[in-house]
Amino acid sequence: MASPCELLLEGKGEAALRRGAAAAIAEVRRIESKFSRYLPHSVVSRINAAAGGQALDVDAETASLLDFAASLWESSEGLFDATSGVLRRAWDFGARRLPQPGQIESLLPLVGWRQVEWNGTRIRLPQPGMQLDFGGFGKEYAADRAAGVLLEHGVAHALVNLGGDIHVLGPHGAPGLAGQPWQVAIERPRPGVSGPLATLAIERGGVATSGDYERFFELDGKRYCHILDPRTGWPVCEWQSISVVAANTTAAGALSTIAMLKGAQAVDWLTAQGASWLAVRADGELLRHPPLAGGQ
């Protein structure tokens, strides 16, 4: 998963908890190996390798995720685009330099879910060089699936954390804490001040954060972050970070990712989607909805 992951389980019967944990970890590994674009034999890598060539038949789980990508593209009016990853070729955040003139323009024709030939069972990326990835919801889906495996193993008090994408499966179960919500700390998007930005009390559900601080560089006083608008190929940096609390982690992840791309419309859109959120604007101001949720 290329990020620190943790699994916190509380309850009675160590052997059963260990079995549940092992099964949940196996499920996360299964999803990673099936859908990671970095692993050459993953379904996603095979789809990308076939770009410009033959259509590929996919299994039911992959089909569900592709349908989900399509519905995110629609609900975000094209801002969330599972084919936008190719733009990373133009943005080298390590080298701290702007794309070469014409570089973005040459990549933009390869971006666009609209071009993808997807009929519910067969997928084809029509142009060589097009790339698909499940960033923004893949890791989150793994957190939800891991929680589902724990639930099937009778675990009722657990927290799954895959690199900051969190699924809380029921309140604490440890003696003295039983029934209490988990305290989920939200990281500060900028260094300097110690302590978390906020601590949210979560009894059940998903939490995910998108931030402009994961990959970025500053040049001539301007910040360039890795949140790229698939229509222009340029970064959208109106928010330092947006955290979303939703009924599952996949929804929280998709909502926070899309909200980062929404710019000034982010908060209205999130609220209309029925989400609870916590956002830090580019100027550092903290906004939240509902106003008193969680507490500092």
Give residues in contact with other proteins (CB under 8 A).
60-61, 64-65, 67-68, 71-72, 74-77, 141, 144-145, 147-148, 151, 167, 169, 204-205, 246-248, 250-251, 254-255, 258, 271-275, 289-292
Min dist CB 21 to other proteins, Å, is: 16
Min dist CB 206 to other proteins, Å, is: 8
Min dist CB 79 to other proteins, Å, is: 10
Q: For other proteins, which is the closer residue by CB, 126 or 148? A: 148
Min dist CB 252 to other proteins, Å, is: 9
Q: For other proteins, which is the closer residue by CB, 78 or 163? A: 78
Q: For other proteins, which is the closer residue by CB, 104 or 278? A: 278
Identify the burial level of 257 via C-beta atoms within 10 angstroms of its C-beta, where 0-12 means exposed, 13-18 middle and 19 or more buried. buried
Q: For other proteins, which is the closer residue by CB, 86 or 150? A: 150
Q: For other proteins, which is the closer residue by CB, 226 or 288? A: 288
Min dist CB 259 to other proteins, Å, is: 10
Min dist CB 288 to other proteins, Å, is: 11
Q: For other proteins, which is the closer residue by CB, 151 or 282? A: 151
